[in-house]
Structure 1
Amino acid sequence: MNIDLPPIALTAGLSAFFLALSIMGVIGFLMRKYGKIGTRIQKASTGERSSDVNLFRQEQLSEIDWMNSLLKRLPFVRSVHRLLLQASVPFSVNIFFILCIAAPICSYLILKELISYPWIVACCSAGVAAIPWIWVTMRKDARRTKFLQQLPDALDALARALRAGHALNSGLRILADEYGKPLGEEFKITLQEINLGMSMERALTNLMERVDLPSLRFFAVSLIIQREVGGNLAEIVETISYLVREHYKLIGRVRVLSAEGRFSAIVFILLPIAIAGAIFYLNPTYLNLLVTHPQGNIVLKVGLFLMVCGVFTMYRMIKIKV
């Protein structure tokens, strides 16, 4: 393959630039994270109280002031920030945007030197651009599932603490101390907000924003209403715990009943790709017409489009909201 030096130099330079930019962002985050940890350890060893926690400051979208101001002006950034918050990812919005921009650009610059079909390169680069969003969404779903698994037992523990005479804040402290991530972590943040002067209603609203879960929203709204109109809080929490546990059981039954459909969808998605890969490995010239002939390109593009439509249709069929 004859490749001129300037395209190679341009590809290498731009790839190195965006890679270095991404690495610098990650390193900067790690330095800030572990620097704060070291400062807290030093203060704890000297008996000083930590004063670097300020939950009332404005949410930072970037550690760089001018970029933070720029991101706040964009209307869609708030939704992205909420998504990252719900997924509990260890980086800010600006680093996420850097990854989303740098990954497809680097893949495009590399693939265009290896593949002579621009539309294939564009499709692959678009797929690479979707990887960070897919990863964040999967992390968010996994975190919601784990939270839902912990929630019924946590509500039972809270109800027992309330019946034993503990105040609501003390019961929430038990949940924060006794349960691991993500439930314990989220209730610990809620308690920090309350202890620093935030109202219970606002702290619970922030909790609902961080954890996009209908069962938790039901619990938080019930607490807010109970604080306004009164009632037996322990009995309310026990009832919510029963409803959440039954809801979780229903989700499990739905997953069992839809398991066959999910498996069939995976087979239908992977089967054409596996067959095409096997044919290309055994006889590469057999598929040449699909990429070299104009009509073959049309057939291939139509097939890929129909396959995407089929994947979307099967996803909608097996995705049952409970």
Structure 2
Amino acid sequence: MSGGLPNILSLALLLSLVYLFVAVVLAIMRLTDKSGQEMARRIDQVTRGEGLGLDLGDIEKKHELSGLRWLDVFLARHAWSGRMDKVLNQADIKAPLGIFVLLSLVFGVTGYLGSSLYVGNPLVCLGVAVVLGSLPFKWVGMRKAKRMGDFERQLPEALELVGRALRAGHTFTSGMGMVVSEFADPIRTEFQTTLEEINFGLGVTVALDNLMERVDCPDLAFFVVSVKIQNESGGNLAEIISNISALIRERFKLKGRIQVLSAEGRMAAWVLCLLPFGVGGVVQLLNPGYLNLLFSDPIGLIMTYVVFGLMTVGLLVIRKMIRIEV
């Protein structure tokens, strides 16, 4: 008991330092964010009749990946930051990418130092650091998947509404405007952005290409390509859109059937993944020190690594079997 108390105090101190670090980073980003001050200064100049001859490029909004200058420069030099920033936009997360990079670093360092208080194996500590460090980006991926899933579920009814509007004599943009007024997010926000681009003079095909670039939805490509082909070769756009809506509905039915048939495989994957850890935890709780030989003896370490490797291979095989592309 006396040996465990210093570890608990050390872990509490480490967590306190982490919270302090995050608070300091957020405070610095808040203080260094001069976008509002710059906007107020320019508005004041225009109100007083000054600065009217400014170059438009001087007041162009610059997209920042982080509120910290050095971190923004670092992220701008790497291609993955652009892809990750696109994922943030698809997840409708307003926080900059730098926040999640810093959180990932903090979680990773905390996981490594915290696990090192209880486990002497550096590989185990590194594994804990990798798992905790990936949590912020895992949350972003889950937000994106949920939002794109909602968009995909709304798309058939939205296309059906556009098709009915075209049959009633409305224009294509009017049909999209009905979707904006009748539907909820996320399809409302994305279609509204597309309508704004068209109203500002951007071509319909270019605006639809931008929509397909913003939204990670394979079904949307059918709609965009069909509209582009109809603009070039002609045809009954209302019938085309209705057929695409029916096609997407049938794909949803097939996806649901596949989900039902693959449910047993997914449950088996969860059981096989969690069962060894559950049994190990129960054994360690009932008989403390019984499993220490696996982490202290060289042969035990080799057996542990082999078991984890085989588990990983098995999970990858099961994942490949139950993931069926429609």
TM class by smaller structure:
0.7 to 0.9
Q: 1:27 to 1:298 in 2, by over 3 A?
A: farther
2:23 to 8, 12, 20: 20
Aligned-pair CA distance for 1:237: 0.7
Aligned-pair CA distance for 1:64: 4.8
Which structure's relative contact order is higher, taking Cα pairs within 8 Å and 6+ residues apart? 1
Tell whether 2:297 aligns with 1:285: no
1:114 to 111, 115, 118: 118
* CA deviation map 1:274-310 (0-9, x unaligned): 1111111111222111112121112112211221222
Tell whether 2:236 aligns with 1:228: no
The aligned counterpart of 1:275 is 279
The aligned counterpart of 2:312 is 308
Paired residues, what number?
A: 299
Q: 1:8 to 1:171 in 2, by over 3 A?
A: closer
SS in 2 for 1:76: helix
* CA deviation map 1:59-111 (0-9, x unaligned): 44334556444433322222112222222223222222122222101222222
The aligned counterpart of 2:54 is none
CA contact (8 A) 2:179 2:188 kept: yes
CA contact (8 A) 1:86 1:209 kept: no
CA contact (8 A) 1:82 1:209 kept: no
1:170 to 167, 174, 183: 174
* CA deviation map 1:254-281 (0-9, x unaligned): 1111111111111111111111111111
Aligned-pair CA distance for 1:23: 4.2
Aligned-pair CA distance for 1:28: 8.0
RMSD: 3.1
- The two structures have a TM-score, normalised by structure 2, of 0.81
Q: 1:175 to 1:298 in 2, by over 3 A?
A: same
CA contact (8 A) 1:18 1:106 kept: no
Unmatched tracts of structure 1, length 5 or more:
37-55
Letter in 1 for 2:284: F
Letter in 2 for 1:19: V
CA contact (8 A) 1:81 1:93 kept: yes
SS in 1 for 2:291: helix
**CA separation in 1, counterparts of 2:12 and 2:280?**
34
Q: 1:208 to 1:58 in 2, by over 3 A?
A: farther
SS in 1 for 2:304: helix
Aligned-pair CA distance for 1:158: 0.8
CA contact (8 A) 2:32 2:68 kept: no
**CA separation in 2, counterparts of 1:132 and 1:226?**
43
The aligned counterpart of 2:251 is 247
**CA separation in 2, counterparts of 1:29 and 1:306?**
49
The aligned counterpart of 1:90 is 94
SS in 1 for 2:305: helix
Letter in 1 for 2:152: L
Question: What does residue range 124-273 of structure 1 map to in structure 2 within 5 Å?
Answer: 124-273=128-277
SS in 2 for 1:285: coil
Which structure would you say has the larger Rg?
2
SS in 2 for 1:286: coil
Q: 1:157 to 1:132 in 2, by over 3 A?
A: same
SS in 2 for 1:121: helix
CA contact (8 A) 1:15 1:109 kept: no
CA contact (8 A) 1:169 1:191 kept: yes
Q: 1:70 to 1:294 in 2, by over 3 A?
A: closer
**CA separation in 1, counterparts of 2:67 and 2:191?**
26
SS in 2 for 1:114: coil
The aligned counterpart of 2:44 is none
Aligned-pair CA distance for 1:229: 2.2
Tell whether 2:77 aligns with 1:73: yes
Aligned-pair CA distance for 1:200: 1.9
CA contact (8 A) 2:108 2:129 kept: yes
**CA separation in 2, counterparts of 1:201 and 1:106?**
49
Aligned-pair CA distance for 1:115: 2.9
The aligned counterpart of 2:50 is none
Q: 1:9 to 1:264 in 2, by over 3 A?
A: closer
Tell whether 2:65 aligns with 1:61: yes
How high is the sequence identity, in percent, across the aligned residues? 39
* CA deviation map 1:36-72 (0-9, x unaligned): 9xxxxxxxxxxxxxxxxxxx95644334556444433
The aligned counterpart of 2:105 is 101
* CA deviation map 1:105-136 (0-9, x unaligned): 12222222333332221111111122223222
CA contact (8 A) 1:190 1:204 kept: yes
CA contact (8 A) 2:115 2:125 kept: yes
